[in-house]
Structure 1
Amino acid sequence: MTDLLSIVRQYKQDSESVYNTWFINNEDRLKAFRSIRRGVLNVTQDIKNGRFGNDFKGSSLEFVLTCITEQKQVFEGAAHPFYWKPKLRIPDIYETEVNKVAFGQFLESCLNTTKEEQLIKEIIKLSSRNIKGLGPSVANILYFLHPTILPPFNTAIVNGFNLLFNEKIKLGSWESYLRMREVMLQVNTQYRNELSTDLGAIAGLLFEIGANKLLIEGSSALDETQQSKVEKLLKKRHAEVMSEQQEIDVHTEMQYHLLKIGRALGYDVVVASNDRSKAYQDDKFSFICIPCLPKMEIDRDTFNTISLIDVLWLAKGTNQVIGAFEVEKSTSIYSGILRLSDLAVSCPHDLRTLFLVVPDRREQEVIRQLKRPSIEQQNVSMQYILFADLRQHCDAICKFGADHRAMTKIAKTALLD
């Protein structure tokens, strides 16, 4: 095995590695953790209350995996093991009630503990049930619940692990997963100053090696066909990075328009806590917004979730929320809906406007999400605004708008068919 420190540094220095594009410089990363945790809670409640159904499609579990698969290339295929395959009767958590309940109880137990020993016990207990088609792919969910204890697990990560450590770990085995985890923890402790206590950093390193994006000395040489695949992968990744940067720029622009309108209408405006250092053109958000979200009489976790909403309008000099806006791009629309719903439940008497702001091409997806029974049951009034409409009418609303009701002129509702 070649010098591991040099491999780690090479990984970190590559501006297009998942370390830099997902682990470090991805503004949606923290939001995903909160949304996925909330989504897993919904899965357990659906199983408890007999609402889970007998298919992956349309289930609360699909929402969770959608949030996960949108977290960069590392998690691209995370949903596949959970698709219901009728001919194979796998994974057997949809039609066999005892397995469904066991899966729900496993997720609930993992949600409700922070102890490493208890988490490992729960994994071993689930493994011993031998639920057909349900293997360590669940670790991709567990990672987002306990990122410093449980790493993600997929083909590329396993391949990278085997290449780097000359192992023969198998993909579908919980025993193999736990062995891989132990080695990862040891290496992560040794190189903690270079990596992170969050196991996403070292998992990303293994992913890059396993996907042949980071070549290591001593691994088998690539033939022409393999080299061609690597070149295609690198080009694809570069295109994805460029595309994402364009999305980030548009996201920032939409936030700016909302901040500008809110100020023009006479409100205090605040941007998501992880976006305060941003600027659009020559206007820094820190010069437009109040310094931070005022304290509210709600629990800390809910407050932290609300503080990640992209733009909030507040009555001048108060903590009364007048309007809330979630600007979506490639992130899960469902996670934005959850944050707005949390706000609506926590401040039911304050809100006047509650909006998703979305790319024009995602309009039909927004309508589908807002029409889902699990969303409609929350009784939260939510509308959406298209990017093109916000961009086109921003200046007119600033000039002629009287209050928050001006936004309803450009908003749309997901009406029932």
Structure 2
Amino acid sequence: MDTTDCMKLIMDYRNDPESVYNTWFLNNPDRLKAFRTIKNGLVQVISDIESRQFGNDFKGSSLEIVITAISEQKQIFEGAAHAFFWKPKLRIPDIYENDENQLAFGRFLKACSSTTNEKQLLEEVLKLDQCKIKGLGPAVANILYFLHPTLFPPFNTTIANGFHTFFQQKIKLGSWKAYLDMREGILDFNEQNRAQFSKDLGALAGLLFEIGMQRYVIPSNANKVIQLEQEKQEKQKKNHKKRHLEIEEDLLEQQAHSEMQYHLARLGESLGYNVWIAQNDHKREWAGKKLGEFSLPSLRLPNIPKPAHDTISLIDVLWLDSSNRIISAFEVEKSTSIYSGILRLHDLSLSLEHDVYHLYLVAPDKREKEIKAQLLRPSFQQNNSIKIFYILFSDLRCDCDAMCKFGQNMTVLEKIAKVV
């Protein structure tokens, strides 16, 4: 990238109100507060390690408080905590159960907290690297940044990707040597462009983060940006298609549900019963008719407490005799839980002083095995006073007209109703 393009990129970054530079580095008072919080937190971490009170897990440790404070510093530090989570199966980072590694980490933090000498700080980094502590890599640089923001830039995968894209230098994520090489490149570039950035390396790290996120297009990432945009568009198309299919499926399920209510309503009516359609389904339609046209305008159940009455009024279809006593109840379960339908019928039977003659689940043929399995639950098998039958969609759809024509009472359902 030539000097002109480079300067334009820097100015775009500085002038973008949504850039990391403006939202985190320049205009975020919490950023400055975090430095004090993190420094004070590290004092406690060091003390806990030296007194052997640090614990054997990241969760609940004083280190968690420090790293959480770092992670909260906008998206540039998102995921900073991940490297410090204790992963027992991988045994990384091995500073929780290995005493020598934990003490070495404590000495590193103490030495880095007590000096501003660049040479000494680099020596401490190299000494930590020589300890070969499994899983403890350059993610620690995020701590160093809050101790020495003019000497150590933040570090994560996105910043490394931005550095690679901008400087055309590949960074090995788990390598301290690679981080230190990256640090030298950042320091040199920052010094050359001090007037546009800051002594604080967070400003330049923010630009690299933005480049790593492909928020800014430069010659070396143009093809990648085009590819990501195409992938984004394809993903949106798939999401739209998926949502469209979900809407279609929901509509088909509602239609099937309404169709079964329609068949049950006209069958009940032809057999001479009063019919109740679930209160919230009166406006639904099937075959050009609103389901509410088949239903009583209101459900009157004397001596039933209001909570129970409200629940009963939502059962899909009820058949009532001339005295408005419920004699049959039907729950249509297209895609909802079979178990919840059984419980509603069970609760209905317990809410009424008289016995409900017949309780039915009405469900698609493909759910027959599920119905049998649910009805074979011990809790339902032990209650011999309550018997729940089931009717398959195909049987009700096929035989409804014949039952309407030749049926005399609810016993006509015995031809299609099944029991476990």
TM-score range, shorter chain: 0.5 to 0.7
SS in 2 for 1:219: helix
User: In the alignment, is residue 121 of structure 1 matched against residue 123 of structure 2?
Assistant: yes
Q: Distance in 1 between matches of 2:79 and 2:181?
A: 22
1:65 match: 67
2:100 match: 98
2:195 match: 193
Q: Distance in 2 between matches of 1:178 and 1:119?
A: 12
Letter in 2 for 1:188: N
Q: 1:328-370 deviations in whole A, cap 9, x for unaligned?
A: xxxxxxxxxxxxxxxxxxxxxxxxxxxxxxxxxxxxxxxxxxx
1:213 match: 215
Give the CA deviation at 1:229: 6.8
1:49 match: 51
Q: Structure 1 residues 33, 63: CA separation in 2 closer, same or farther (over 3 Å shift)? A: same
Give the CA deviation at 1:230: 7.1
SS in 2 for 1:221: helix
1:23 match: 25
SS in 1 for 2:91: coil
Q: Structure 1 residues 40, 230: CA separation in 2 closer, same or farther (over 3 Å shift)? A: farther
Letter in 1 for 2:223: A
* 1:13-412 correspondence to structure 2 within 5 Å: 13-222=15-224, 226-227=228-229
TM-score normalised by structure 2 residue count = 0.54
When the two chains are superposed, the root-mean-square deviation of aligned CA atoms in Å is 1.6
Contact 2:70 2:80 in 1 (8 A): yes
Q: Distance in 2 between matches of 1:115 and 1:223?
A: 41
Give the CA deviation at 1:29: 1.2
Q: Distance in 2 between matches of 1:17 and 1:88?
A: 37
State which of 8, 11, 14 in structure 2 corresponds to 1:12: 14
Q: Distance in 1 between matches of 2:224 and 2:47?
A: 49
Give the CA deviation at 1:220: 4.0
Q: Structure 1 residues 190, 225: CA separation in 2 closer, same or farther (over 3 Å shift)? A: closer
SS in 1 for 2:219: coil
Letter in 1 for 2:101: N
Q: Distance in 2 between matches of 1:154 and 1:203?
A: 10
TM-score normalised by structure 1 residue count = 0.54
Letter in 2 for 1:95: E
Contact 1:213 1:230 in 2 (8 A): no
Contact 1:188 1:196 in 2 (8 A): yes
Contact 1:40 1:61 in 2 (8 A): yes
Contact 2:137 2:174 in 1 (8 A): yes
Q: 1:216-261 deviations in whole A, cap 9, x for unaligned?
A: 12324146661167799xxxxxxxxxxxxxxxxxxxxxxxxxxxxx
Contact 2:217 2:225 in 1 (8 A): no
Q: Structure 1 residues 63, 221: CA separation in 2 closer, same or farther (over 3 Å shift)? A: same
Letter in 1 for 2:111: S
Q: Structure 1 residues 228, 89: CA separation in 2 closer, same or farther (over 3 Å shift)? A: same
Gap regions ≥5 residues in structure 1: 233-417
Higher RCO (CA-CA < 8 Å; seq separation 6+): 1
Give the CA deviation at 1:142: 0.5
Q: Structure 1 residues 229, 206: CA separation in 2 closer, same or farther (over 3 Å shift)? A: farther
Larger radius of gyration: 2
SS in 2 for 1:86: coil
Identity %: 58
Contact 1:212 1:230 in 2 (8 A): no
Q: 1:182-226 deviations in whole A, cap 9, x for unaligned?
A: 010000000000000000000000000001112212324146661
Aligned length: 232
Q: Structure 1 residues 144, 80: CA separation in 2 closer, same or farther (over 3 Å shift)? A: same
Give the CA deviation at 1:163: 0.4
Q: Structure 1 residues 107, 13: CA separation in 2 closer, same or farther (over 3 Å shift)? A: same
Q: Distance in 2 between matches of 1:189 and 1:70?
A: 28
1:259 match: none
Q: 1:56-110 deviations in whole A, cap 9, x for unaligned?
A: 0000000001100000000011000000000001100000000000000000000
Contact 1:19 1:205 in 2 (8 A): yes
Letter in 2 for 1:125: K
Letter in 2 for 1:175: K
Q: Distance in 1 between matches of 2:230 and 2:70?
A: 29
Gap regions ≥5 residues in structure 2: 235-420
